[in-house]
Amino acid sequence: MKIGVSGSTGLVGSALVPFLTTSGHQVVRLVRSKPNPGEVYWSPGEGRLDASGLEGLEAVVHLAGENITGRWTPAKKARIRESRVQGTQLLAGSLAELPQPPKVLVCASAIGYYGDRGEEVLQEASPPGSNFLAEVCQAWEAASQPASQKGIRVVSLRIGVVLSARGGALGQMLLPFKLGVGGKIGSGRQYLSWIAIDDLVGVIHHALTTDSLQGPVNTVAPQTVTNLEFTKTLGRVLGRPTLFPLPAFAARWVFGQMADELLLASARVEPARLKASGYVFRTPDLEGALRRLLGKTRAA
């Protein structure tokens, strides 16, 4: 397939593009800098996209968006929302106007859609939350409507915490945990729904090639864990103690609103549609995923 990819240099995109190209697909990157041959220029903030470069695409994977980590100032929150909503509107609208649009658009979304839900088991039909991230995710997914109205099959991947040794949440945790100063956050009872980077790449490919998959898809591993369970498992894999918790008040003092919506929020998400569609997880359990990602074999 000839596949367009936005956000190709991010944590997920940098793993996805080599997978697609080595699998025999042709990748066309959407870039914000001067495009090289085989790339397409776009600037979501300015509403600019060279639509001629989209012609002939059979599929598009849309991953671009402002990084949500860091303290959420009003300006940061505006960038988080606008980069996702405006970018998706621009891309979906441009695809819908093509004489021969692609068959499928796979868009990133996030489990932030559900908000802070305690121990409630969340499937794709569960109602959205009401906090900032939930509102962003609802607008993000709705922004793809021009494509679906054109008849393009749109898949919105509600992605959990992505585990990769190269960055993201796990990458930031490694140093303190290796130094023996890692620990639970807040009470540790909040649920953390995660997915290993290789499974996320596999799910994207599955969404591209599975015609029956459409609409929101919870993109998380089948084993959901609490923050405390995650902490103990990572410590066990690294062979380090986990005796230094981060109290909730300290997390709020350092990270502000982000602490409540990311670090302390609970989302017990189930990948119902993925399992029903026949996707087979490479690393369905947390310890196996961490050992694989970090190159840690089990003790004899």
Residue spans per domain, the chain: 2-294
pLDDT above 50: residue 300: no
* pLDDT tens-digit series, residues 7-34: 999 999 999 999 999 999 999 999 998 8
Which residue in 43, 40, 62 sits closest to 51, CA to CA?
Answer: 40
- Are the beta carbons of 200 and 12 closer than 8 angstroms? yes
**Residues 115-170: tens digit of each pLDDT:** 999 999 999 999 999 999 999 999 999 999 999 999 999 999 999 999 999 988 99
* Mean pLDDT, range 101-126, rounded to an integer: 97
- The whole-number pLDDT of residue 299 equals 56
- Per residue in 191-215, pLDDT (tens digit) is 999 999 999 999 999 999 999 999 9
What's the mean pLDDT in 43-60? 93
The DSSP line for 258-293 is: HIIIIIS---EE--HHHHHTT---S--SHHHHHHHH
Contacts of 42 (CB under 8 A, 6+ apart): 6, 30, 31, 32, 48, 49, 50, 90, 91
Categorize the per-residue pLDDT at 97 as very low, low, confident or very high, splitting at 50, 70 and 90: very high
What does the DSSP assignment read for 83-106?
HHHHHHHHHHHHHHTSSS--SEEE
What digits encode the pLDDT tens for the residues 224-256? 999 999 999 999 999 999 989 999 999 899 889
For residue 281, pLDDT over 70 is answered with yes
- In this prediction, residue 72 has a pLDDT band, given cuts at 50, 70 and 90, of very high
Considering the entire predicted model, what is its pTM?
0.95
Decide: 199 and 281 in contact? Cβ < 8 Å: yes
2-294 has CATH 3.40.1360.10 classification: no
Are 158 and 108 in contact, with CB atoms under 8 Å apart? Answer: no
